[in-house]
Structure 1
Amino acid sequence: MKHRSLEIIRDEHSSLAAMLQSMRMLVARGPRDNPKNFFDVLRAMLFYIDEFPERLHHPKETELLFPRVLKAVPELGVAVARLDRDHEYTEKAVRDIQHLLLGWELLGESRRETFTDAFDRYVNLYLAHMQLEEKEVLPAAEKHLTEEDWQAVDAAFEKNCDPLTGKFKPEPMYDRLFTRIVQNAPAPIGLGQG
């Protein structure tokens, strides 16, 4: 049986990986001759990560999915503990990176390397995190969770409606955010050149 939450989780992982790839390309190119756009779009992308994956996606995994998987497959304890630690790290790290970006923008090139080092660590951890979930936790969930488990997990994830998956319109309060990202971020997320 196909479970809606697995599709949502994978869609959200895919859109986040594309976002991180776009950000990585943007950071590698740097501000060039348009620093205002560069810093604006990076700030918007980091804000998106804080608003959607950090506040909607991760809590549902940590509070609903992971405990059920752990109960059904206790041998995944090390993996689940790592994923939970990653969630704690990324929630704080995205805000720290926003602060480092502001430092680079306002204080200049002397702050660039500090930002890029922290950003690279963050992206690498995030990509490894999603890979671990998709290789170990999601297949175990698919195989071992009960129908009752799936009802609770599906109901929670169906409320996410992340517009960057391409399947939902943004809520009106997020229109400006998503317009800024899509119009100014480089592909694969946006239409801009960065």
Structure 2
Amino acid sequence: MRHRSLEIIRDEHSSLAAMLQSMRMLVDRGPGDDPKNFFDVLRAMLFYIDEFPERLHHPKETELLFPAVLKGAPDTAVAIARLDRDHEYTETAVRDIQHLLLGWELLGESRRQVFTEAFKKYVDLYLDHMRLEEQEVLPAAEKSLSDAEWKALDDAFEKNCDPLTGKYKPEAMYDRLFTRIVMQAPAPIGLGE
């Protein structure tokens, strides 16, 4: 049976993984000859992560998906506990990384390494987090959730409408954010170099 929420979760993971990989490419290249664009697009991408995955996606997993899976598949307890800890970490870490980026931008090269180390740790954890969720929790969900639980998940996740999945138009207030990301970020997320 096809569950809309699983499709949405996987689409959002895929767009977030692409965003993180684009950001990693930007950070590895550095500001080069266009520091204004470099810092602008990285700030926009970090803001996107804070606005969509952190504020919309993760709460639905923590409050709806994980408890339902844990009830039906108690053997996922260790993975779910780790995923919940990851959600707590990434929610704070994205704001800390935004601050470290601002430090690098305003205070110069002496702040680059601390940003880069925190950013790489964040990206590695995030990618591993999504892998664990897709390999352990989502298959357990497919086997153990009731029709009523799927309905609740489908209804909740259909409200996300993350434009970076390529399936939804951004809300008007996010137009500038998504235009900036798409036009300035490198592939696989954007059209920039």
Q: TM-score range by the shorter chain?
A: over 0.9
Alpha-carbon distance in 2 for matches of 1:179, 1:153: 30
SS in 2 for 1:167: coil
Alpha-carbon distance in 2 for matches of 1:187, 1:54: 23
**Which residues of structure 2 form unaligned runs of 5+?**
none
Does 2:81 correspond to 1:81? Answer: yes
Residue 39 of structure 1 corresponds to: 39
Alpha-carbon distance in 1 for matches of 2:89, 2:75: 23
Residue 21 of structure 1 corresponds to: 21
> What code does the residue aligned with 1:55 have?
R
Q: How many residues align?
A: 193
SS in 2 for 1:160: coil
Residue 158 of structure 1 corresponds to: 158
Alpha-carbon distance in 1 for matches of 2:7, 2:151: 14
> What code does the residue aligned with 1:39 have?
F
Residue 72 of structure 1 corresponds to: 72
Does 2:147 correspond to 1:129? Answer: no
SS in 1 for 2:2: coil
1:176 positional shift: 0.2
Q: Per-residue CA shift, 1:140-186, capped at 9, x if unaligned? A: 00111000100101100000000000000000000000000000000
1:75 positional shift: 1.1
Q: Per-residue CA shift, 1:95-144, capped at 9, x if unaligned? A: 00000000000000000000000000000000000000000000000111
SS in 2 for 1:192: coil
Alpha-carbon distance in 2 for matches of 1:82, 1:127: 14
The percent identity for this pair of structures is 82
Residue 111 of structure 1 corresponds to: 111
Residue 175 of structure 1 corresponds to: 175
Moved over 3 A (4+): none
CA RMSD in angstroms comes to: 0.3
Residue 9 of structure 1 corresponds to: 9
> What code does the residue aligned with 2:166 have?
G
> What code does the residue aligned with 1:122 have?
Y
For normalisation by structure 1, the TM-score amounts to 0.99
Q: How does 1:174-193 map to 2 (within 5 A)?
A: 174-193=174-193
Alpha-carbon distance in 1 for matches of 2:111, 2:77: 39
For normalisation by structure 2, the TM-score amounts to 1.00
Residue 55 of structure 2 corresponds to: 55
Q: Per-residue CA shift, 1:3-49, capped at 9, x if unaligned? A: 00000000000000000000000000000000000000000000000
> What code does the residue aligned with 2:169 have?
K
SS in 2 for 1:96: helix
Residue 91 of structure 1 corresponds to: 91
> What code does the residue aligned with 2:144 have?
H
Residue 30 of structure 1 corresponds to: 30
